[in-house]
Structure 1
Amino acid sequence: MSKDLLFEIGLEEVPARFMRAAIAQLEDRIVKWLDASRIAYGQVQAYATPRRLAIMIQNVAEKQEDVEEEVKGPSRKIALDDSGNWSKAALGFARSQGVQPDQFTFKELNGVEYIYATKSSKGVDTFSVIGEGLLSVLHAMTFPKFMRWASYDFKFVRPIRWIVALFGADVIDLEVTGVKAGNVTRGHRFLGSEVLVSEPSVYVDVLRAQHVIADIQEREQMIVSQIEALASEKNWNIAIKEDLLEEVLFLVETPTVLFGTFDSSFLNIPQEVLITSMREHQRYFPVLDQEGQLLPYFVTVRNGGSDSLDVIAKGNEKVLRARLSDAKFFYEEDQKLEIKDALSKLESIVFQEELGTVGDKVRRIRKIADSLAAKLQVSAETAQSVSRSADICKFDLVTLMVGEFPELQGVMGEDYARKAGEKEEVAKAVFEHYQPRFAGDQSPASLVGAIVSAADKMDTIVGCFSINIIPTGSQDPYALRRQAAGIVQILLDHQLPLTLSDVFSAALEVHAQMNLLKRADAEVRKDLQDFFALRVKKLLSETVRYDVVDAVIASGFDDISAIVPKGEALMKAVLSGDEFKTTVESFNRVGNLAAKASNASVHAELFTEEGERQLFDAWNQTNAAYRDALAKHNAAEALSVASAWKPAITAFFDSVMVMAEDEAVRANRLALLAAIDQDLKGFADFSKLVG
């Protein structure tokens, strides 16, 4: 027999950003408790609104499963004394398992006899234990921030105001912070009222009648479909940003979409400013035309029905007008600030206590960027743009607009630089040097932006590593992992002829010149290698198998532009079938014996067997083409050339005794294998492939 289970925690409004993780955690903890308690159950459904977290589980067994388990004890030799009586060890084992010694059985395991105790446990009624279980779940919940209320020691994300706990139609005995579980829930704060839930199956419909859409997906679909209908009706393009949709979703219980307008004179402000103000301050969805230009409208979601929407719209318009007026003031005031004056203000902003001010950082970025530009041998004009972009890349940090909206750093810098008469590529680079800002973001489009971005990110990483701020676990206060991934992405997307070592050296030299290195150069460089290896592995693992990642990483990852094509080519070959598997086996045979070779070079005059001559010729005639293909990042071609050596390798091992008695002949054969293996290792360590 089974019944449905409903557990609802009624709360004061929970911050939207906490909701998704909170309901997932509640579901996970309840399910794990049921599993641990040997209580069978069916489908699990989670519900959440700003004022409630709820889990409904169908077909929960009314009784725990009976369990019978066999526990291994000491060996017969230890369990019985010389007289054949139970030893103290055996009697202690019996007590610990709650059985009598005469219930022991003997079983052989790996040639040794042991005593075994069979324990039986009868399942109890679910209703008698589930209250305690749910209470333990509540106490185990964790949140980014907790609250305590009244005089209770118990803490939770927000004060608990009601609890619904039903097993079928029966109320579960449960109480926390003076709130006793019952079968009465609460509807919409203003449109609904308290209402009886007679059994779990009616929960969703009961709340719907009280103007609460408990189902998260249903509520989201209502918001999206209403926005799409409005966009179609008005011929608008309403930008639905996922994080904003997620936030709005957990701000409302009954969503109703409406729109308002604002004075078109505000459109003279860059639309990124208006969009940010609407999204961040008001949780509004901006309205664009079909060309992506902002229109003087906004869309918002009301927590309620469709009554008096015109009044709601006017209220929102009034609030937005004040917000946009502030933005307009900030924007106009910022125009009065000259770039040179802004740069001087950077000298009073601390970047990091041991690494100096933002002004110090800008000077380092300039030196690193100049070094990278020189390494790339860019034109004099581009080099000049790199220097100027690096000089002014952070100036907008002191503007009023960025002070109000930090997420607009770079955006405002580009706009203000352009208005100040800077070259277009310089203004663009001020924005681009922050890219990629997050996983999935695009790299800087321009070479100037790419160089300054890499310089900025590498300066931060080297600076932090030099003073022992290295990410551990989840701790990464300076987002060094993201910045390292950004550098890898830039080198890859732009196919820059720079190695990671080049970028490391440029930053390390600058930090050394400024006496900022608190650790030895070699020590920092080693940590950088290990740190970037993980970023490269993560990049490769998005498209290729883990063993393929390990194989190509083992060949070196300094040249980012080469490592990805190698991973893709090798993955394709691995998936091609058994033919390549035998090729890998032949490569590994070469590698196994190559390890025995000295550093001696290959001497063709020492060949005595046709098989070794053929292998030498097959390799010698094409290894230049192989290396050329690798140098040009044509990994598929390089692998094809190397694979063509397989017949000669096979014939060599079939007809030639590598470990010949003649020492010179033996050393020469090993040297040949070592030379081939060295070429192969330049592509990958094929021994790391698992099949």
Structure 2
Amino acid sequence: MKKDLLFEIGLEEMPAHVVGPSMEQLRQKVERFLIDHSLTFEAITAYSTPRRLAVFVRDLADKQADTEEEIKGPAKKIALDAQGEWSKAAQGFVRGQGLTTDDIYFKELKGVEYVHVTKYSKGKPAFEVLTGLKEVMMSLTFPVTMHWGKYDFEYIRPVHWIVALLDDEVIPFEFLDVPTGRTSRGHRFLGHEVTIAKAADYLEKLSDVFVIADAKRRQQMIVEQIQEIADANQWSIDFDSNLLDEVTNLVEYPTAFVGNYDEKYLSVPEEVLVTSMKEHQRYFDVRDQEKNLLPHFISVRNGNHHAIENVIKGNEKVLVARLEDAAFFYQEDQKLSIAQCLEKLKQVTFHKKIGSMEEKMNRVQMIAQILGKQFGLTSEELADLQRASEIYKFDLVTNMVGEFPELQGIMGEKYALLQGEKPAVARAIREHYLPISSEGDLPTSNIGAVLAIADKFDSLLTFFSVGMIPSGSNDPYALRRQSYGIVRILEQKKWHFPLAALQAEMVTVINEDPIRYGLALESKQQEMTAFIHARLKQFLMTKEIRHDVIEAVIASQQPDLSQLFDAAEILKAHLDDPEFKVSVEALTRVIHLAEKATNDTLEVDPSLFENDAERALFDAVSEVQSQFSTRTMAQNYEALIQLRPLIEAYFAETMVMVDDDRIRNNRLNQLQQISRMALVIASLDHLMTK
């Protein structure tokens, strides 16, 4: 007989960003609990509001399946003593299985007879097993926790009620001092306690007390209500997914409404207005059909339309207060010159172990010029890059950024333009923060991209130098995200980036003038290379590149980070070629043998050749080498693959590890020439070719 299960945890209001992940965590853990306890079911659905996490399991088996398990014991010669009686080993084995020696039989495995028993287990009733949901409840983890009352146990918020029903029966257990029952709670102001007679009634019963427990349905209601308002007024609304998720998890019964503010505030940059509405008040901004910002906002109330006019007035009052502050800050900031802001920055600490913000900017100026020349920027671009790197953090000391930290860079661009800076310089100030999330927008201008890399690379250099290297999940200064940003920008721009050489040059310059740059750096070259390569692996995985290809590329001897992107794509494109397997195996054999070389010289003496295969391979390799530095990665790959027949002929006719030192070393040198070219593309021995 199938039954339905309802499990609801009732809490104080949770932070919106915790609700969705916690709901999914509960679903996964209940599902795993049921599977581990051999309780089959048809479907499991999760529900949530700010005050509850719940799962509903449809058609759950009413008991565990009976099981039959064959268990192997000791060998027959151990199970029986010299008199043919059961030994202590045999008796202990069956006792441990809850059986007797009468249940023993023998089975032969690989010529040896072993004791076996068949253990039958009768499945427990689901009602009995489900009391274990208490352990599931206690196992949930949260980003922040608290304890309350006299209890040491910590949870996201205090638990006020628990509903645990198997059809119409309450599953009995207690969490702290809260027993399970069938009583849930409705909307905090519009609803009341509600008794749930059976599990299948859950959604309907909560709806009666102004709770929409299905988060997807709640979000759909919000979108429909807002869209209805927009259509009636011919407005355009951007349903920002993050904002929509947050609003969905702030309410139990949504009602959308429109508020207004004075048109005079539209003179403030729209980024400020949108940030005030979206980030601080959780409002949706309103635009006309041409995407121009309008003096209205749409918000969502946690409740119905009762006294909605008072709610609108209250929200308008709060927003206008913030907009007044924003307008004041905007006017006050325009009284400051960039030079005055830069003077203030001298007193701002970047990090106590690293130095001031001014010293960071000095380093970034130098790094940006090294990178700009490496990337081939024009003289005009280099001049604009120099100016941008001299001032790019000035907005950090403005009133607006002090109030709205989300606007750093954005206000820098606005204020720079107001003070007559070139558009290219102002744009770079904004773009240097990009990407602001792992998959966020990238800088589009060359100057902005270089400044973004320079700023992020300086953070890596300095934090690594003072020993603040991320470990485990600990990364307080977002160095992983910054490294990932560097990788993404380089891949987009296709700029050559010889990581070790550039890092060495930057460290040398900084250490020549530690007073100007704030500190002397330790190289930490291996650590930084490994760290950035780890982010490169992460990036390549998003491109659906096979794991072994990624490992082969990362393990290569290619110094240029940007070339690793090309190598991975080339190998990915050729994995299914008919000749791929045999060609890679031939080159891998070369690489392994070349490792036996005892010297670094690559000189090959043709006079020591003893057969035509050596000469043919030598001529072909010489031709490939002569063009290797000028060809593309794809062309070099093809050239090496085409060596396969010659390599196979070479090994068929040539013994490399001969006794004669001169001939052996000459042959190893010849193989080293091929190996080093192959390793510039990838460490091919990492590839799976079976």
TM-score (norm 2): 0.91
Alignment identity in percent? 44
User: What residue in structure 2 maps to residue 444 of structure 1?
Assistant: 443
Shift of 1:548: 1.0
Deviations 1:508-567 (A, max 9, x none): 23553428778853xx11111111111111122222111111122222353122111111
Query: Does the 8 Å contact 1:239/1:285 carry over to 2?
Result: yes
User: What residue in structure 1 maps to residue 203 of structure 2?
Assistant: 204
Say yes or no: does 1:52 pair with 2:32: no
User: What residue in structure 2 maps to residue 561 of structure 1?
Assistant: 562
Residue 136 of structure 1 aligns with an amino acid whose one-letter code is E
Instruction: Say how many residue pairs are matched.
Output: 683
- Per mean C-alpha deviation after superposition, the further-off stretch among 210-219 and 512-521 is 512-521
Deviations 1:361-414 (A, max 9, x none): 223223333443455565554444333322222222222211221111111111
Distance 1:106 1:39 in 2: 33
User: What residue in structure 1 maps to residue 612 of structure 2?
Assistant: 610
Say yes or no: does 1:140 pair with 2:149: no
- Per mean C-alpha deviation after superposition, the further-off stretch among 466-475 and 656-665 is 656-665
Shift of 1:19: 0.4
Distance 2:91 2:521 in 1: 61
Query: Does the 8 Å contact 2:161/2:178 carry over to 1?
Result: yes
Deviations 1:271-326 (A, max 9, x none): 11110000112100112334443222212122233455555433322221112111
Distance 2:579 2:220 in 1: 50
Tell me the SS of whatever aligns to 2:181: coil
Residue 143 of structure 1 aligns with an amino acid whose one-letter code is F
User: What residue in structure 2 maps to residue 673 of structure 1?
Assistant: 671
The 3 A distance-change label for structure 1 pair 661 and 150 is closer
Residue 328 of structure 1 aligns with an amino acid whose one-letter code is A
Query: Does the 8 Å contact 1:260/1:313 carry over to 2?
Result: yes
Shift of 1:170: 1.3
- Per mean C-alpha deviation after superposition, the further-off stretch among 493-502 and 215-224 is 493-502
Distance 1:653 1:152 in 2: 75
Match of 2:647 among 624, 646, 649: 649
Distance 2:509 2:671 in 1: 43
Distance 1:7 1:125 in 2: 17
- Per mean C-alpha deviation after superposition, the further-off stretch among 260-269 and 283-292 is 283-292
Distance 2:440 2:505 in 1: 25
- Per mean C-alpha deviation after superposition, the further-off stretch among 345-354 and 91-100 is 91-100
The 3 A distance-change label for structure 1 pair 400 and 108 is farther
Distance 1:84 1:547 in 2: 57
Query: Does the 8 Å contact 1:105/1:115 carry over to 2?
Result: yes
Residue 120 of structure 1 aligns with an amino acid whose one-letter code is Y
Query: Does the 8 Å contact 2:236/2:287 carry over to 1?
Result: yes
Query: Does the 8 Å contact 2:368/2:451 carry over to 1?
Result: yes
1:36-115 aligned at under 5 Å gives the runs 36-109=36-109, 112-115=112-115
Query: Does the 8 Å contact 2:602/2:673 carry over to 1?
Result: no
Query: Does the 8 Å contact 2:4/2:56 carry over to 1?
Result: yes
Match of 2:627 among 619, 625, 628: 625
User: What residue in structure 2 maps to residue 333 of structure 1?
Assistant: 332
Distance 1:251 1:553 in 2: 45
Deviations 1:238-260 (A, max 9, x none): 12222111100111222232222
Tell me the SS of whatever aligns to 1:14: coil
Residue 159 of structure 2 aligns with an amino acid whose one-letter code is I
Deviations 1:67-86 (A, max 9, x none): 33344444445545555555
Distance 2:475 2:454 in 1: 20
Deviations 1:109-140 (A, max 9, x none): 55555444544332222212322x12222222
User: What residue in structure 1 maps to residue 579 of structure 2?
Assistant: 579
Residue 221 of structure 1 aligns with an amino acid whose one-letter code is Q
The 3 A distance-change label for structure 1 pair 271 and 118 is same
Query: Does the 8 Å contact 2:7/2:163 carry over to 1?
Result: yes
Query: Does the 8 Å contact 1:458/1:507 carry over to 2?
Result: no
- Per mean C-alpha deviation after superposition, the further-off stretch among 550-559 and 607-616 is 607-616
Distance 2:128 2:494 in 1: 66
RMSD: 2.7
Query: Does the 8 Å contact 2:507/2:521 carry over to 1?
Result: no
The 3 A distance-change label for structure 1 pair 649 and 225 is farther
Shift of 1:606: 3.8
Distance 2:251 2:522 in 1: 56
1:547-558 aligned at under 5 Å gives the runs 547-558=548-559
1:12-31 aligned at under 5 Å gives the runs 12-31=12-31
Tell me the SS of whatever aligns to 2:142: coil
Distance 1:66 1:256 in 2: 51
Distance 2:159 2:283 in 1: 30
Residue 405 of structure 1 aligns with an amino acid whose one-letter code is F
Residue 683 of structure 2 aligns with an amino acid whose one-letter code is D
User: What residue in structure 2 maps to residue 535 of structure 1?
Assistant: 535
The 3 A distance-change label for structure 1 pair 391 and 222 is same
Say yes or no: does 1:545 pair with 2:546: yes
1:236-251 aligned at under 5 Å gives the runs 236-251=235-250
Say yes or no: does 1:478 pair with 2:477: yes
Say yes or no: does 1:363 pair with 2:365: no
User: What residue in structure 1 maps to residue 160 of structure 2?
Assistant: 161
Distance 2:476 2:288 in 1: 39
1:184-583 aligned at under 5 Å gives the runs 184-306=183-305, 309-373=308-372, 375=374, 378-512=377-511, 513-514=513-514, 520-521=522-523, 524-543=524-543, 544-576=545-577, 578-583=578-583
Distance 2:169 2:558 in 1: 63
Deviations 1:221-247 (A, max 9, x none): 222233344434433331222211110
Distance 1:274 1:510 in 2: 43
Distance 1:245 1:534 in 2: 33
Shift of 1:17: 0.9
Distance 1:63 1:490 in 2: 56
Query: Does the 8 Å contact 1:66/1:123 carry over to 2?
Result: yes
- Per mean C-alpha deviation after superposition, the further-off stretch among 407-416 and 283-292 is 283-292
The 3 A distance-change label for structure 1 pair 197 and 89 is same
Match of 1:638 among 633, 636, 641: 636
Distance 2:644 2:228 in 1: 63
Distance 2:175 2:335 in 1: 59
Shift of 1:663: 6.0
Structure 1 spans left out of the alignment, 5+ residues: none
Shift of 1:446: 2.6
Query: Does the 8 Å contact 1:368/1:506 carry over to 2?
Result: no
Shift of 1:25: 1.7
Shift of 1:611: 3.0
Shift of 1:415: 1.3
Query: Does the 8 Å contact 2:496/2:563 carry over to 1?
Result: no
The 3 A distance-change label for structure 1 pair 493 and 223 is same
- Per mean C-alpha deviation after superposition, the further-off stretch among 509-518 and 493-502 is 509-518
Residue 122 of structure 2 aligns with an amino acid whose one-letter code is K
Shift of 1:352: 1.8
Residue 62 of structure 1 aligns with an amino acid whose one-letter code is D
User: What residue in structure 2 maps to residue 121 of structure 1?
Assistant: 121
Query: Does the 8 Å contact 1:46/1:55 carry over to 2?
Result: yes
Distance 2:163 2:365 in 1: 62
Tell me the SS of whatever aligns to 1:438: coil
Query: Does the 8 Å contact 1:262/1:321 carry over to 2?
Result: yes
Tell me the SS of whatever aligns to 2:681: coil
The 3 A distance-change label for structure 1 pair 520 and 314 is closer
Distance 1:329 1:435 in 2: 28
Tell me the SS of whatever aligns to 2:191: coil
